[in-house]
Structure formats: C-alpha cells, structure tokens
Amino acid sequence: DTAVSQTPKYLVTQMGNDKSIKCEQNLGHDTMYWYKQDSKKFLKIMFSYNNKELIINETVPNRFSPKSPDKAHLNLHINSLELGDSAVYFCASSPQRETGELFFGEGSRLTVL
Amino acid sequence: RKEVEQDPGPFNVPEGATVAFNCTYSNSASQSFFWYRQDCRKEPKLLMSVYSSGNEDGRFTAQLNRASQYISLLIRDSKLSDSATYLCVACDSWGKFQFGAGTQVVVTP
C-alpha cells in the first residue's frame, strides 16, 4: 500500500492552462505539505495544512491554490500556468508538526510548454 | 540567503573511504533536524534524525552544534549504494521543514 500517493505522476501542458495535482495519505497523519523542486533541485515549501487548516503559506503566487477536503487529502490547483511553474511537485505528510518525519509522495513532474 | 546552506559537492569518494560534510541553518528557533537522502528522480527519504548529543545509525553518524548552528553527517566505509544527494533539514515549531539544496556524494569503485 502506497503511504503518500500523488496523481498524476507526469503532466505536460500548455502555458495558460489550469491543472490540478491530487495527494492522498493513508498514514493517519495530521499534517500535509506541498513542496516544489525546481531544476536546481532545491526543495521549497509551498503550503502546509494541519487537520484541514492552512498553517503555512509561503510566498507563492495566488495562481496556486491548495485545498484540503479532509486531513487525508491535500490537492493543489494551479491557474494560468507559466513556464516557470515547470518543476517536480512533492506532497508530504507528517505525524507531528514540530518533530515528525516527513513522508513524501513520488512526486508529480509538471512540464509547461 | 537560504535558511539551510549546504556544499553542493560533488564529493567523489572511493569505495570503503569515509566522507563527511556539513550544513548550516540560519533560524535559531529551529527545533528538530534531519538528514534525508534523495536518489535521482526519486522522492526524498529520511536517512536519520539528528539529536543534540549526536547519534549513529550503522555507518552513518550525525552531529548537531546548536551554538554554531551547523549539522554534520559522516559516512564510514562508503558503499556504491551510498551515491545520492543528501539533504539537510531544519524544522521550526510551526512544522516548517526547511531543506538545504543538497550535497551530492558519488562513491566510486
């Protein structure tokens, strides 16, 4: 059973389109995250939710909108895609906000043409 | 300035040798620290947590120096399978896990 699963794994789309990435965790964790890993391999935190409540919102364009329908799911919707949005997006979950280990999904590779 | 800084490497290490590298963090409020490993085109996976007293897990030893705000990782008896990028992570009380850009290690036969 995959602990943190993301769909789709690969996404190729045109500039200006809107796309969503879904994430689900079956670990019973309270906290979920979205990270972006760009071409330089730097993992940058975007958002964090704890029990469906947004607790971390980094300086991310408002074209990016996370949504957590329940604590097991955290989806990411991106409007008006730009070339610079091309990256690998990782979903992660953690049992404890301050000290827990992060469990990552396999990543969703987004390519904007 | 990035919150967690690492030497990107690569560190080219002969098989069986020892390699060590550090990272520094800028947020003095960071509470917990980790080393993650990331293989090419894969997700990061936890290698080990880092405790104030230092800790060892097999061939891997991690140290934390809160006064100087740096964390180190030492790998003994390097194996070919240790080739990867090692990510240093600092976490604050809000659960914000800040990653360094990674140190690449290449173990050669």
pLDDT at A99: 62
Could you tell me the two tokens for A8?
């789709």
Q: In the beta sheet, which residues pair with residue B63?
A: B72
Q: Name which residue leads in pLDDT, A40 or B91.
A: B91
A40 touches chain B (CB under 8 A): yes
Distance (Å) from the alpha carbon of B91 to chain A's nearest alpha carbon: 7
Cα–Cα distances in Å, from A76 out to A22, A23, A50, A52, B21? 6, 8, 15, 13, 35
Mean pLDDT of B89-95: 87
Percent of chain A at pLDDT > 70 equals 96
- Provide, as residue numbers in chain A, all residues whose Cβ is less than 8 Å from the Cβ of B87: 43
Within an 8 Å CB–CB cutoff, is residue A5 touching chain B? Answer: no
B46, B64, B97: best to mutate for the A interface, most A CBs within 10 A? B97
Residue A101, min C-alpha distance to chain B (Å): 7
Interface check for A33 against chain B (CB to CB < 8 A): the answer is yes
Shortest CA gap A13–chain B (Å):
20
Q: Which residues contact B42 (CB under 8 A, 6 or more apart)?
A: A106, A107
pLDDT digits (tens, 9 = 90+) for A13-54: 999 999 999 999 999 999 999 999 998 888 999 999 988 889
B20, two tokens: 């060590």
B65 — phi, psi (to 5°)?
-120, 100
pLDDT in tens, A44-85: 999 999 888 898 888 889 999 999 999 999 999 999 999 999
Q: From CA A14, how far away is CA A68, in angstroms rounded?
A: 26
| Arithmetic mean of pLDDT, B35-56 | 93
CB-CB under 8 Å, B101 with A40: yes
Query: Rg of chain A's alpha carbons, rounded to an integer?
Result: 13
Give the mean pLDDT of A3-21.
97
